[in-house]
């Protein structure tokens, strides 16, 4: 009976080991040094903003792209354009309708290598309850021992994508037709992720 | 009753109400610039209601403080009756203000959080006003004796005035403009002077009558 239990345990550990190995490629977000910015035209000027509350799940190994993945969850209510009244307007159903759709979610389906450290992260972006296929180009800035935290290593990713906000139903287009708010939004993703040294 | 005093007070009140009502049109807030159709009408209506509530709240303090000028013009009984009705009107306009301001951007999109502190001051103010009016109108039902009610009502009245000043100065970009800001500060100083004047005058009168006796 005892031998049988040990055998079951050993068999189960065959499944656990690869999972644990995969988990080693997962990175923890350094929230203080990661940002999701955006910039959009306003008549003649540009309005910049960012989301204060977002989380990521990053599993990345340049040698194992099939096992790599990126997931982002952005809390819409955390939008910040340095003007509280504009933020409230952006959260209204004129734009994000944050009360009904509190989060935007990106989940990668594939990571492929491009040139000069570029990785194309293909995935699904869910905005206001609708899912869209999106490719996020991320430039892998590199990986090294963390200069400030002993026993940790740090990696960085930077990317920029231009999205047509009207294609994602972020606004009905009335402000675009008036010539007030542009439809193309530049989104900048800048991530610093850490993990225990391998 | 002194008819001239009555007319002077009513004239000042009407001029104040007219100036307050003109503000959302003359010094349009930037929030209004980016509202269209019904949303714009509602927001402007909300701002107007807010201005009426503000004017009536200041009037409420003037009525509460009283003084010989008002008493000769209207009579104490009429002033107290006006004060009670005015209180209900303040809450009514404040409720319209909140509702009309919030509706265009959704009632599920409330301005809560540290960056919306001036709006939250406004919410606190609304609650205080509701408590004041409810406790005044239903004092008997709530079994509040006059002394206890007055001990609560009076400081809440002054607190409401302080909160409305903070709320107005920091929530509305109409008051960022020099003219409305200065006019508002002048109105606050005038109100404060009126309160201090009536209180000091009453003290002097009291001392005078005591020394004569």
Q: Could you tell me if residue A4 is inside a domain?
A: no
Alpha carbons A92 and A74: distance in angstroms, whole number: 16
In the predicted structure, residue A49 carries a pLDDT above the cut 80: yes
In the predicted structure, residue A115 carries a pLDDT above the cut 50: yes
When pLDDT is averaged across residues B25-44 and rounded to a whole number, the result is 91
Confidence at residue B68, expressed as pLDDT on a 0 to 100 scale: 80
Phi-psi group of B199: left, alpha or beta (phi > 0 → left; psi -120 to 50 → alpha; rest → beta): alpha
Considering only residues B3 and B211, tell me which one the structure prediction assigns the higher pLDDT. Answer: B3
What average pLDDT does chain A have? 90
Kindly determine whether residue A174 and residue B36, on different chains, have CB atoms separated by under 8 Å.
yes
Q: Which residues of A touch B (CB under 8 A)?
A: 80, 84-85, 87-89, 91-94, 97-100, 174-175, 178, 180
Percent of chain B scoring above 70 in pLDDT: 97
Residue of chain B minimizing CA distance to A95: B105
Tokens of A116: 């000069």
Q: Could you tell me if residue A180 is inside a domain?
A: yes
Confidence at residue A9, expressed as pLDDT on a 0 to 100 scale: 58
Is ipTM beyond 0.85? no
The region of weakest confidence among A185-189, B4-8, B153-157 is B4-8
Look at chain A and report how many structural domains it folds into. 1
In the predicted structure, residue A22 carries a pLDDT above the cut 50: no
The model's pLDDT over A24-45, given as tens digits with 9 standing for 90+, comes to 678 999 999 999 999 999 999 9
- Min CA distance, A44 vs chain B (Å)? 15
Residue B203 pLDDT level (bands cut at 50, 70, 90): confident
Closest to B113 measured CA to CA, from A78, A4, A11: A78
In the predicted structure, residue A20 carries a pLDDT above the cut 50: no
The model's pLDDT over B83-100, given as tens digits with 9 standing for 90+, comes to 999 999 999 999 999 999
The model's pLDDT over A57-111, given as tens digits with 9 standing for 90+, comes to 999 999 999 999 999 999 999 999 999 999 999 999 999 999 999 999 999 999 9
Please report the domains of chain B, with CATH numbers, ordered by start residue: 3-212 (1.20.120)
Q: What is the CATH number of the domain that holds A133?
A: 2.40.128.110
H helix runs in chain A, sequence order = 2-23, 84-91, 174-177
Residues of the domain holding A35: 26-196
The model's pLDDT over B164-191, given as tens digits with 9 standing for 90+, comes to 999 999 998 889 889 999 999 999 999 9
Closest to A193 measured CA to CA, from A34, A21, A51: A34
Q: Could you tell me if residue A49 is inside a domain?
A: yes
Confidence at residue A17, expressed as pLDDT on a 0 to 100 scale: 44
Q: Could you tell me if residue A72 is inside a domain?
A: yes
Residue A169 pLDDT level (bands cut at 50, 70, 90): very high
Q: Could you tell me if residue A15 is inside a domain?
A: no
In the predicted structure, residue A21 carries a pLDDT above the cut 70: no
Q: Could you tell me if residue A93 is inside a domain?
A: yes
Percent of chain B scoring above 90 in pLDDT: 67
Q: Could you tell me if residue A14 is inside a domain?
A: no
Confidence at residue A3, expressed as pLDDT on a 0 to 100 scale: 66
Kindly determine whether residue A92 and residue B31, on different chains, have CB atoms separated by under 8 Å.
no
Chain A CB contacts of B109 under 8 Å are: 88, 91-92, 98-99
Q: Is A187 in contact with A25 (CB distance < 8 Å)?
A: no
**Helix (H, G, I), strand (E, B), or coil: what is residue B136?**
helix
What average pLDDT does chain B have? 91
Percent of chain A scoring above 90 in pLDDT: 84
Q: Could you tell me if residue A21 is inside a domain?
A: no
Chain B CB contacts of A94 under 8 Å are: 105
- Min CA distance, A73 vs chain B (Å)? 20
Q: Is A84 in contact with A42 (CB distance < 8 Å)?
A: no
- Min CA distance, A169 vs chain B (Å)? 17
Residue A19 pLDDT level (bands cut at 50, 70, 90): very low
When pLDDT is averaged across residues B146-159 and rounded to a whole number, the result is 93
Q: Is A134 in contact with A123 (CB distance < 8 Å)?
A: yes
The region of weakest confidence among A103-112, A150-159, B62-71 is B62-71
């Amino acid at each position: 009976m005892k031998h049988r239990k040990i055998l079951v345990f050993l068999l189960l550990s065959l499944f656990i080991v690869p999972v644990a190995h995969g988990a080693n490629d997962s990175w923890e977000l350094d929230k203080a040094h990661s940002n999701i910015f955006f910039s959009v035209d306003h008549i003649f000027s540009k309005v910049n903003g960012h989301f204060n509350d977002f989380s990521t799940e990053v599993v990345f190994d340049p040698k194992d792209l099939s096992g790599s993945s990126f997931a982002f969850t952005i809390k819409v209510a955390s939008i910040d354009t340095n003007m509280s009244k504009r933020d409230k307007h952006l959260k209204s159903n004129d734009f994000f309708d944050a009360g009904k759709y509190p989060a935007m979610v990106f989940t990668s389906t594939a990571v492929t290598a491009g040139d000069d450290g570029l990785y194309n992260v293909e995935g699904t972006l869910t905005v206001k309850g609708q899912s869209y296929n999106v490719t996020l180009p991320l430039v892998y800035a590199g990986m090294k021992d963390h200069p400030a935290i002993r026993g940790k290593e740090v990696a960085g990713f930077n990317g920029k994508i231009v999205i047509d906000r009207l294609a994602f139903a972020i606004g009905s287009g009335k402000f675009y037709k008036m010539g007030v708010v542009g439809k193309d939004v530049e989104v900048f993703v800048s991530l610093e992720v850490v993990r225990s040294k391998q | 009753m002194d008819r001239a005093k009555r007319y002077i007070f009513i004239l000042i009140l009407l001029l104040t109400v007219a100036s307050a009502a003109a503000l959302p049109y003359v010094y349009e807030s930037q929030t209004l610039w980016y509202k269209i159709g019904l949303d714009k009408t509602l927001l402007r209506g909300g701002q107007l209601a807010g201005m009426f509530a503000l004017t009536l709240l200041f009037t409420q303090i003037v009525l509460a403080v009283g003084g010989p000028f008002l008493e000769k013009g209207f009579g104490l009984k009429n002033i107290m009756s006006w004060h009670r009705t005015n209180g209900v009107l303040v809450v009514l306009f404040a409720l319209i203000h909140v509702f009309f301001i919030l509706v265009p951007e959704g009632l599920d999109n409330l301005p809560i959080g540290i960056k919306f502190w001036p709006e939250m001051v406004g919410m606190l103010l609304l609650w205080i006003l509701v408590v004041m009016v409810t406790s005044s109108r239903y004092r008997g039902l709530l079994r509040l004796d006059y002394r206890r009610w007055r001990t609560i009502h009076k400081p809440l009245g002054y607190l409401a005035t302080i909160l409305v000043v903070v709320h107005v100065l920091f929530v509305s970009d109409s008051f960022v403009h020099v003219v409305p800001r200065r006019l508002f500060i002048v109105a606050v100083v005038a109100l404060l002077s009126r309160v201090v004047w009536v209180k000091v005058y009453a003290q002097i009168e009291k001392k005078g009558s005591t020394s004569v006796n």
